[in-house]
A and B are shown apart, each in its own frame.
Chain A
Amino acid sequence: MNGADKYQLNRNSYGRLVFTDRIGLMQEGVVPVRSFPITDPDQGIALIDSHGHELLWIERLADLPEDYRVLIESELASREFVPEIKRVLKVSSFITPNTWEVETDRGESTFLLKGEEDIRRLTASSLMITDSFGIHFLIRDRLTLDRHSRKLLDHFL
């Protein structure tokens, strides 16, 4: 984006992002949204106002001035919740629905898997598991998991 000077972005005391366009119109509660959150997270980020209209299209985050980029990245971080499974500790039963105890990059947790169809293959080795509340758990590369986890996981693939 070459028009970095044409708009302003900052965070107000309510913790919301505020977007000011070049004629000085302010929009509060602006959210950044990734267009390809799974396949290509850094490509194409849109700033969306509270009514769901697009305000700005950012082709690549790296193109932004440093302070804006940090602001958007922190906002994205506070919205994105895709725990990455590092280890599968225990599966309550091999028949769904079952409860999984997992170790993720965000700490240990448990979740309920409703059915095998909620395990979605992204690529040959990466998987996305959707729990009963719709939270996505990512397995970046199932081949690099430890033996125990792979074995448990294998029951469901």
Chain B
Amino acid sequence: MQQIQSLSLNNLPSIWVEAFSSQLIAEENVLAWLEIDLDTQLHFAAGLVVVTNKRLLTKMASDEIWQEWCYQKDLLLAQRDYAGVGCLELFDAHARIAYWRYRLGNDIAVSRLIECFTQQLDYYLTGKLPVVAEHTQVQCPNCAAFLSSEQEECPVCDKQSHAPPSTWTLLRLWRFAKPYKGRLLIGFLLTLCSTAATLVPPYLTMPLMDNVLIPYQNGQPINTDLVTLYLSGLLVAAVLAWMLGWARTYMLALVSERIGADLRTATYEHLLSLSQEYFGGKRTGDLMARIGAETDRINLFISLHLLDFATDVIMIVMTAVILISINPWLALVTLVPLPIIAWLIHLVRDRLRIGFEKVDRIWAEVNNVLADTIPGIRVVKAFAQEKREAARFHAANQRNLQINDRVNRIWSLFTPTVTLLTEVGLLVVWVFGIWQISKDEITVGVLTAFLAYIGRFYIRLDTMSRIVSVTQKAAAGTKRIFDILDHVSSVPESSNPVHLSAIQGQIEMRNVGFRYGTRSITRDINLIIKPGEMIGLVGHSGSGKSTLVNLICRFYDVTEGMILIDGHDIRSLPIAEYRKNIGLVLQEPFLFYGTIAENIAYGKPDAMRSEIVSAARAAHAHEFILRLPHGYDSLVGERGQALSGGERQRISIARALLIDPRILILDEATSSVDTTTEKDIQKALDNLVRGRTTIAIAHRLSTLREANRLIVLDRGRIVEIGNHTELMAREGYYYRLYLAQARNVDTEDRAIVSVAEHSAAGEHK
């Protein structure tokens, strides 16, 4: 425990150092501390509890003096927690002498505090130095979690830092645009040229007016050469603008389509790498909307709106330059409305962004209603709740309308205002232009050119103002995409993974604890499973069996302790490589849409046909597959052939058999089928289990007779270990569980048969 002893005052939170240092007596060392953020009445207040080698010290920020308890016989420090709030209690032989409340932030700091206290108390009472535990692993300096030698950053601390992402979300799309730099540059140059080409015609109206039309009105004949020159100039400019415009739009649409596709793929890939925890907290409809609709919206934004906007900006700059070069004064008057419009845009931007984010959220909500109801349609119909579901959808839509109405109220005001400003701007130009002509400062041609220019100019401003809304929409969409992309998997891939060529299948759990949200699910699990051993996990539902399995599969990461495979922390192994060693058979097997052969070969897509068939034979699935009209090529899954629960289960067993895993996990593999089918499955399972480390969860204890050892769990702890006979002889927890089931077994079988008949009848509807 060197790390602990080297703790000095410097490690204390800075606000406490000064107050605390005066308290220390000679030869007193701080061993552990805990910052308290609640008082005993559960109001927010700061406080500190410190364990030193002499005593336990504590003070709330509002207290005048420190309270202290020196080590003495019968002192006990213990903690419990409920719904996110922990309680640390100090007892003596007769009563509770003090307690502290805190929000559960750093669970490990609490257990370390208690550990240090207990050790020091022990030392005080017995005089024996605390046993220095020989940990080969390095400890995290912050939270004392054990790190495997390869890990540099502590996964526990890492997980807790949630830095808010920057607001310039749209710029982050650059990451996806980068590979197309070259093409983007070409597109930009094309935009520049095509915009310049569109600016030629109004310029030509100036000499056309001054050199041809006005002289004609003043009695001179029309100069046909000049007219031909100007008009062919107009035609060439128009044709050039058309060609360049086509090339630029095509080029940029090409690029944006690719960026969109990359974005979609990257998001989906990242989504797949996220832990089970993430999917547990999200709703399917929402995730689907994000990947589908949002990427499409961003795509459209880049290819259409961003392009238009860039063109507009270029056009405005070019127009401004041309106008100033013709007549600076008139140009100044023409450009005055520009800042006003810019200010107006800025004003509305914030409101619109919030509005559009709301629209997005409510849209996801509408989708969620659908995603909730359609898969559960049998339940909806069975309970005749169509009306209610329709009402729910109606309500979501109503809210959608409401929010859209509010956004549209601002939005609808916006465009007419811009149009009004355009008209006023034109009016100003007319007034100032006529005045200047009357003073002979400009010609009629110049005024005509100006009007032609700003006619386009203001129209561009009008469309430009639209960029506000689409940018906001795209930014909102980008944010939602990056919400997924920024989400760090809570089962992070080790930065320096250890590759194991072949594993033996020894699983060791050391002080494993897991907390889901604020609920502590398992605690202090210590267990070594030998290679090839079959373990049965037994316990009431909610006792932590499935959690344990999820931890072994690394669907979640342990919050305390560690799980070792052949002596390596599973967090230090590459996730995909590690999971290849695990075969999982679930209670409700999931078949993908595809052929039976594809489903069996899901974990090993390059499997030979002969391998697939032998896996199916071993899983006792071969015969029923041959009875199907297309054999192994029959389509199954959501839109395919209907298979019974037992048949699907045997396919999933074949799937697990094919990858030949060293570790096998059977999570209630036989509980959703009737007893006859169970016997078939059991035969298939016997083939599967042979020679592999197996962890089986079964509700029916009779199916676990084969297990070498049974682990009995109760409320997240191991209560008994032993084989069936031993545990029966002990007459403990397992014995009671077994008796309770044996009593029910007759009724259960009867119930299952009738349920099976029932559901079979249902299938034929």
Binding site for B on A (CB under 8 A): 13-15, 52, 77-81, 83, 92-99, 104, 106-109, 112, 114-117, 132-136, 154-155, 157
Contacts and interface: CB of A to CB of B under 8 A. Distances in A.
Given A106-B43, A117-B281, A157-B358, A92 B164 contact: yes
Given A79-B82, A99-B164, A134-B84, A116 B361 contact: yes
Given A78-B42, A96-B483, A117-B283, 15 more contacts: A77-B42, A81-B42, A81-B83, A97-B162, A99-B164, A106-B42, A109-B37, A109-B44, A133-B104, A133-B518, A134-B518, A135-B83, A135-B85, A136-B84, A154-B354
B91 interface: yes
A155 B358 CA distance: 8
Residue picked from A93, A95, A98, most chain B C-beta under 10 Å = A95
B95 interface: yes
A95 B44 contact: no
Given A14-B95, A81-B42, A115-B483, A95 B164 contact: yes
A98 B43 contact: no
B361 A52 contact: no
A135 B519 CA distance: 11
B517 interface: yes
Interface string B354-365: 100110010000
A155 B479 contact: no
Contact of B44 (A79, A80, A106): A106
Interface string B510-552: 0000000111000000000000000000000000000000000
Contacts of B604: none
A13 B95 contact: yes
Contact of A15 (B89, B281, B282, B715): B89
Interface of B: 37-38, 42-45, 82-85, 89, 91, 94-96, 99, 103-105, 162, 164-165, 167, 169, 281-283, 286, 354, 357-358, 361, 479, 483, 517-519, 715
Nearest to A109: B44
Q: Is the interface of A mostly helix, strand, loop or mixed?
A: loop
Contacts of A99: 164
Residue picked from B104, B162, B286, most chain A C-beta under 10 Å = B162
A93 B168 CA distance: 12
A107 B43 contact: yes
Contacts of B44: 83, 104, 106-109
Contacts, number: 85
Nearest to A92: B164
Contacts of A80: 42, 83
* 9 closest A-B pairs by CB: A13-B95, A107-B44, A134-B518, A134-B517, A97-B162, A135-B84, A93-B164, A106-B43, A15-B96
Nearest to B42: A81
Contacts of B479: 95
Contacts of A93: 164-165, 167
Contacts of B358: 157
19 contacts: A13-B94, A13-B95, A79-B82, A92-B164, A93-B167, A95-B167, A99-B164, A106-B42, A106-B44, A107-B45, A115-B281, A115-B483, A117-B282, A117-B286, A133-B84, A134-B519, A135-B85, A154-B354, A157-B358
B631 to A, nearest CB: 45
A155 B165 contact: no
A87 B416 CA distance: 38
A56 to B, nearest CB: 19
A157 B358 CA distance: 7
A96 B486 CA distance: 10
Given A108-B44, A135-B84, A15 B354 contact: no
Nearest to A93: B164
Contact of B162 (A15, A132, A134): A132
B165 A95 contact: yes
Contacts of A136: 83-84
B89 to A, nearest CB: 7
Contacts of B283: 117
B34 to A, nearest CB: 15
Nearest to A135: B84
